[in-house]
Amino acid sequence: MDRVEEMLGEVRTTFKGGRTRGVEWRKAQLQALLKLLAENEDKIFEALRQDLGKHPVEAYRDEVGVVKKSATNAFRSVEKWMAPQKGRIPLVFFPARGAVVSEPLGVVLIFASWNFPISLALDPVIGAISAGNAVVLKPSDVAPKCSSFLANTIPLYLDPEAIKVVEGGKDISEQLLQLKWDKIFFTGSPQVARLIMSAAAKHLTPVTLELGGKCPTILDTLSNSSDLQVAVKRIAGGKWGPCNGQACIGIDYVLVETQFASVLIELLKKFIKKFYGENLKTLENLARIVNKHHFKRVHNLLKDPNVAATVVYGGSVDEENMVIEPTILLNPPLDAEIMTEEIFGPLLPIITLNNIEESIQFINSRPKPLAIYAFTKNDSLKEKILQETSSGSLTFNDAIVQFLADTLPFGGVGQSGFGRYHGKFSFDTFSHEKAVLHRSFLIELEPRYPPWNDFKMDFVRLAYDFDYVGLVLLLLGLRGLFRRNPRQ
């Protein structure tokens, strides 16, 4: 505990010294981070291979490329983000001017997740640095090679007195949570998020929680064969492509009309074989399950006899190498664990409905998801999904890609989390927007009590209701109405 407190004391001293506030420091750190990525790409690929079995293409797409894009965007934009934003002031206060000034929160604690152990660690760090904060990063010990890489490499590139990396397991996390931070950013499960919130509440520390949930996909009946091929291809990529289903925004299950289910299943089989291989022994381009604990958790979902009976493709497992084949299930029991808990693995339930519009009621009967994906050309259905469901994000005719858009906020709602980041939204998440008002000594109204007659009160009401009336009052210098009463 002493070591953790000493580390916090050092970064807090650095922040109080003002070093992190200047634009030069922020841009220097972002540039150094880009250099870190460029000079250590192969090491990152190897760490991701050892922790999760990620292919280099997947590693670059979901990890290195994401961070590089985010850091480059922040480097180019941080001066604009830092600039005070003009605030419109009511004319009744004329002459006056207002602004919103973004200031850093202070020392922030970032908990990273294991499924994307590089991008989900460094992307929030980019936002915290851009906003001028000092940072303590806690990588996930479930991905030990990536955690070690970050701990050993970051101090060689970034300011070691302002940006620290702390490795460890549950005991270190508990020690960190006992201390007072100016912000806590957490990516992980709702179960751990409850502990984070409970600890943060003791110090009234603001938190951002990036969680998960069962993200549904709605597949409407697409009459055009080409559209259908594209839709199912994107569903297959969105389910198994990102870390073999171990992704908070990955597709959890698919809702489709009963008459369309067989077509969907056959197309999914086709693309699974094309993208990943024919069977367990020939699988490629797929990440493995992260460890034995999670392997058993996902495997246990299939051990329920009522669930196993619904498997229509896949289901094979290799416990030694912690690999589970891409698996499709048709109408597993809705009260089974596979349909009540986030799957976070390569199992894809397909739930059939009589009418695709029933999907809205189905989704609304469950906790709010982090993302909803809907494949349809029906504008009426799109509007109903938009207006009648609630989710962290909503994407039509694709999956996952919203995560890569820096101009869109990424975050959850309800049980899928709260707070948002990416691009300018990351900067805002790690900033306090301070209201600043400048007034002049030139004009002063002096109300005199008592009495205020109705005429005077009417003028005051008008001044608040209509800004231009307030300006006229001030420009004419009608102080006399308030300074004296002719009848006195």
Q: Which of 243, 248, 257, 342 is catalytic?
A: 248
Find the angle CA(325)-CA(326)-CA(327) to the nearest 5 degrees.
100
Annotated catalytic residue 215 = no
Given 210, 257, 325, 342, which residue is catalytic? 210
Q: What is the largest CA-CA distance in the chain?
A: 101
The residues, any chain, with a CB within 8 Å of residue 254's CB and separated by 6 or more, are 216, 217, 218, 219, 235, 264, 348, 349, 350, 351
Q: Across 391-467, where does the E strand assignment appear?
A: 393-396, 417-418, 431-439
Closest CA to 444 of 96, 139, 20: 96
Describe the crossing of helices 225-240 and 261-276 by its angle, rounded to 10 degrees: 60
How many whole angstroms separate alpha carbon 315 and alpha carbon 300?
Answer: 12
Tokens (6 digits) for 341: 């808990």
Instruction: Provide the angle, in degrees to the nearest 10, between the axes of the packed helices 119-130 and 65-82.
Output: 10
The bridge status of strand 417-418 relative to strand 207-210 is: antiparallel
Whether 210 sits among the annotated catalytic residues: the reply is yes
Residue 79's alpha-carbon distances to 23, 24, 75, in angstroms, are 7, 10, 8
Identify the burial level of 183 via C-beta atoms within 10 angstroms of its C-beta, where 0-12 means exposed, 13-18 middle and 19 or more buried: buried
Catalytic residue positions, numbered: 210, 248
